[in-house]
Amino acid sequence: MDHAADGADEHLVREAEKITVALGRMFPGLCEVVLHDLRNPDHAIRAIENNLSGRQVGDPATELGLARIADPEYPSVIQNYPNRFPDGRPAKSTSIGIKNAAGEYVAALCLNLDVSVLSPVTLALSNLVATDTEHRDQPLETLRDRTARELREAVEARAAERAAAPRSLSREDKKALVRQLQRDGYFDSRDAAQTIADLLGVSRATVYNYAK
């Protein structure tokens, strides 16, 4: 083993760790930043700042990380690709591979932007500049098989009216939102309660309690 090379690799990873922390703290609540140590794929996550995915330091490498380990010619930067957090929230991700002097990938810096936090802001701004408010107070039509996507859009739109992300709403606002969704017929959809619970960051039982 070349101890000098190994020490240089460790230095690279430690420097990347500083960047991970700084970037995460620049965008609190919005962008998760993860540093993967590709020298140890079974326990690759070296640092995670602004944790939005629920992963932990010591968790294994992702498929993308394994692909980089297997192929030094794998692209260094994968920019702005669509992704999802474990609870279904949409994300925009960028992965940056870090090579040592020998041209081998030793680390990867990954940024996962929570797009669901920005969507309500966009909707709120759209509502602010809109001049046509006709039919605004009329409920949506009732359909038995609303998709999870339609339900997510409905939750985000109602949260945007309060200029907030669904998970950051107060308990009373969440209760009012659930009752509005019930009036609009969304509970007719299969698995709607669980979908709403995931979006609001509460339990399924809490959703049913709010709906009473």
Tokens 């409920």, residue?
A: 139
Query: Is 145 a residue whose pLDDT tops 70?
Result: no
Average pLDDT over the chain reads 84
Q: How far is CA 22 from CA 13, 91, 109, 112, 133, in A?
A: 14, 20, 12, 15, 43
Please write the tens of the pLDDT for every residue from 77-127: 999 999 988 888 888 999 999 999 999 999 999 999 998 877 776 667 777
Query: Is 151 a residue whose pLDDT tops 70?
Result: yes
Backbone φ, ψ for residue 94 (5° rounding): -135, 135
Structural domains present in the chain: 3-115 (3.30.450.20), 131-211 (no CATH)
Buried b or exposed e, range 128-145, using 16+ CB within 10 angstroms:
eeeeeeeeeeeeeeeeee
Residue 49: count other Cβ atoms within 10 Å of its Cβ.
20
Query: Is 200 a residue whose pLDDT tops 60?
Result: yes
Q: What's the confidence (pLDDT) of residue 134?
A: 52
Q: At what angle do helices 115-129 and 148-160 cross, to 10 degrees?
A: 60
Claim: this prediction has a pTM higher than 0.75? no
Largest CA distance in the chain: 72
CB 27 within 8 A of CB 60: no
Degrees, nearest 5: CA angle 194-195-201: 85
Return d(Cα 181, Cα 166) in angstroms, integer: 13
Q: What's the confidence (pLDDT) of residue 185?
A: 80
